[in-house]
Structure 1
């Protein structure tokens, strides 16, 4: 019977760092005193802007999945696919930052309802998994083969969960607005 091989430092160190990011965000969100919010340009509520930014992140996450599937297929991917994957990921992260900053400052980590608790925890998971993925990319061996796709899958799962607990909820309860 084969014995389980322990996680090598090139995998567990990024994992520990990612868990650290998630925990720090969660602790900060829980201990931080939430502050008020403002409207954008007097007519576009900040919440609506966040919903549309989150929807953009969700669309870009779909592009990430498709481009990753092309990269990881048995045949070599066209040269432009890796660049598309990198720049699309950068844009998705860039769109997510104002949403996350507003959520942390305005609301913090809350557990009022199961939806809000899930959303808060998924936000922490997203940035922790993202940090893990980026650190795995910088390691020799690119994350030991299996670790990088798993980290990417966790990032995607967190994005999907965040969108479901925020943007979809907003569209279903408030409606689609600009």
Structure 2
């Protein structure tokens, strides 16, 4: 067996590992920044909403709905949903719903990071802080992995699944909690 063929799986594994480490570093840096900076209390508010909490809860819900669209389009792209297989709609929707999900999540994340920082006042808040940092690290890793050729076919779907799970868990620890304690009124 040629040396280059034997080195290729090792090089691929090293590439994946380094990218995952880069994503983990982003997560840790966000957590350290959130923990060490004083909370500023800045609020993201939009006209028509009763409070910054309502804005965040509804924007987070939009993110999760877009993430569900991401999963559906990914399943179509990978041929798991044969009835809607084919056509360019799946890949176009996948790219744009992903961009929109991240774009919509940024004001929510910025508000959490600047207004509250990294908090551990109770289990829900600690879990939310950890998930918030982790989601953006996973996002960075997934985007870096997308630029690499020759990865095993499972890598991108696994990272997408981890990202989806992170967004849904963030939603449960924030928006669902908000809706349960404050109601659904915008």
Q: TM-score scaled by structure 1? A: 0.90
Matched residue SS, 2:166: helix
Structure 1 CA distance for aligned equivalents of residues 46 and 103 of structure 2: 19
With the length of structure 2 as denominator, give the TM-score of the two structures.
0.86
Match of 1:156 in 2: 164
Corresponding residue number in structure 1 for 2:97: 88
Runs of 4+ in 1 over 4 A off after TM superposition: 38-43
Distance in structure 1 (CA, Å) of the matches to 2:138 and 2:57? 22
Counterpart Cα distance in 1 of 2:21 and 2:153: 18
1:119 equivalent to 2:128? Answer: yes
> Who is 1:44 aligned against?
50
The residue number in structure 2 matching 1:13 is: 18
Distance 1:40 1:78 in 2: 37
Deviation at 1:9, TM superposition (A): 3.0
Whole-angstrom CA distance in 2 between matches of 1:87 and 1:37: 29
Higher CA-based Rg:
2
Distance 1:103 1:130 in 2: 17
| Offset at residue 47 of structure 1 (A) | 1.4
Q: Distance in 2 between matches of 1:52 and 1:31?
A: 28
Distance 1:86 1:41 in 2: 29
Question: Following superposition of structure 1 onto structure 2, how do residues 26-175 of structure 1 map, counting pairs within 5 Å?
Answer: 26-38=31-43, 40-41=46-47, 44-73=50-79, 77-141=86-150, 143-175=151-183
CA RMSD of aligned residues (A): 1.8
Aligned residue pairs total 173
